[in-house]
Homo-oligomer: A and B are copies of this chain.
């Protein structure tokens, strides 16, 4: 059952009939990305959304100074995408590990909503969730110190710090790898507090 986790993810938001489920699966493509492979480059029209079955993807932008800034990580059972469908993508999306994912073409999805309106609701909820999570993280980023944000990261992605380079985490936290290294060596107590 290659789609088990995907079906479970759908069920979180909507209840589907057998027929709807099948129609949805028909537009899903299972794909593999090698480590460092790009699924989307900034500036390309956004054509798909992605659901990670195994591995890890990141979304990021390049700032004026040419530095990459990580926005989101998507590990097992996470959705990820740029958002301005049709418009040129703000973000790039890249695999940080060999990754197995489901690709859902937006045009095909729009088609699908014609015949099965329930997917409008599904997509709406997905967007709401993503927007909510992003807003929450942004707010934390604005009002907390870097060490506190790191603690939040560890709670949200318990094993990810063992799987990807630290400079990607630093970038996600909005700090330099050097400063990240220094808060780690000082502030491990914060994490101890968090998990205890």
Contacts and interface: CB of A to CB of B under 8 A. Distances in A.
Contacts of A69: 139, 142-143
Interface stretch (A28-36, A115-123, A187-195): A115-123
A113 B63 CA distance: 40
Interface of A: 61, 63-65, 67, 69, 71, 83-85, 87, 90, 113, 117, 120-121, 123-124, 127-128, 130-132, 134-136, 138-139, 141-144, 174
A20 to B, nearest CB: 14
A178 to B, nearest CB: 18
25 contacts: A61-B143, A63-B142, A63-B143, A64-B143, A64-B144, A67-B143, A69-B139, A71-B135, A71-B139, A83-B128, A83-B135, A85-B128, A90-B132, A90-B135, A90-B136, A117-B120, A120-B121, A120-B124, A124-B124, A127-B128, A130-B131, A131-B131, A131-B134, A138-B138, A142-B174
Contact of A124 (B127, B142, B144): B127
A152 to B, nearest CB: 13
Copy number in this complex? Answer: 2
Nearest to A138: B138
Contacts of A132: 83-84, 87, 90
A27 to B, nearest CB: 17
A120 to B, nearest CB: 4
Given A61-B143, A143-B69, A135 B136 contact: no
Contacts of A142: 63, 69, 141, 174
A120 B124 CA distance: 7
